[in-house]
Amino acid sequence: MIKMKQRRQREELQMYYRQMGRPAPSKSHSDRSLRHMRTQLELCLEILAHCDRIVDDKLQAKTKNGLEAVVPNLSSIILTGNNLQELSDLEPLGSFTKLETICLLINPVSTKTNYREYMAYKFPHMRLLDFRKIKQKDRQGAQEFFRTKQGKDILREVSKKSKLSAAAALAAEASSGKGLGSDGGRFANPV
pTM over 0.75: no
At 161 the pLDDT is: 81
> What stretches of 34-123 adopt beta strand conformation (E)?
76-78, 101-103
Q: What is the pLDDT of residues 3-61, one digit of tens each?
A: 777 788 778 777 777 777 766 556 666 677 788 888 888 888 888 887 777 776 766 66
Q: What is the pLDDT of residues 103-151, one digit of tens each?
A: 999 999 999 989 999 999 999 889 999 999 999 999 999 999 999 999 9
Q: Would you list the DSSP string of 98-121?
A: T--EEE-TTSGGGGSTTHHHHHHH
Note the CATH number of domain 69-165.
3.80.10.10
Does residue 177 have a pLDDT over 80? no
